[in-house]
Amino acid sequence: MRAAGTLGSLRLRVSDGHEPDRGALMVSPDLIDRALGRFLVLGQAMRRDAETLPVSVAQSAVLARLRAGPKTVGELAAAEGVRAPSMTQIINRMEEAGWVTRSEGPVRGRTVQITKAGLAVAVEVRQQRTARLARRFEGLSADDLAVLEAVLPVLDRMFGAPLSY
């Protein structure tokens, strides 16, 4: 969704770039600024938490995607928002670690699949991330948890469906 700015507020644009109806929701720059600050802190916290995991953030995401089935390097690159050569480097390191294998055949069209060792790492990472997030939930009230539960569908609409780890 793109936003067009004015000094006092932003009028939301629909995803096809057209202006919405006159009754469109106006979003204050303050709300956007406060949300951005929280999203940045969230990203920093996730990166800090990932520093002690046995895989990088990118490798973890690839393992999670491969749990759903084999994918080409191109599919993985597109899903992660990186170029194919960058994904190839990630896959090469994962292959050296024994976490993934590639199908036989011509380079283009070969698929990458998770190995038993890769699955074990993916499960370990999932368990560690779940435990860390559970610790962050400690001390939250029932009301806090209800609000968190209510905001999840909003985040899905903003950023897309969650990745299954």
Instruction: Encode pLDDT of 80-135 as tens digits.
Output: 999 999 999 999 999 999 999 998 877 667 899 999 999 999 999 999 999 999 99
Q: Can you name the CATH fold of 57-159?
A: Arc Repressor Mutant, subunit A (1.10.10)
Kindly list the distances between the CA atom of residue 110 and the CA atoms of 27, 74, 104, in Å, as whole numbers in the listed order: 46, 10, 7
CATH 1.10.10.10, the chain: domain bounds: 57-159
The dihedrals phi and psi of 111, each to the nearest 5 degrees, come to -105, 155
Specify the long-range contacts of residues 72-80, CB closer than 8 Å, at least 24 apart: 72/109, 72/110, 72/111, 72/112, 73/110, 73/112, 76/112
Structure tokens at 67: 């749990």
Burial of residue 69 (CB within 10 Å: 0-12, 13-18, 19+) is: exposed
Contact present, 113 and 100 (Cβ < 8 Å):
yes
1-51, pLDDT tens digit by residue? 444 444 455 555 444 455 555 566 788 889 999 999 999 999 899 888 888
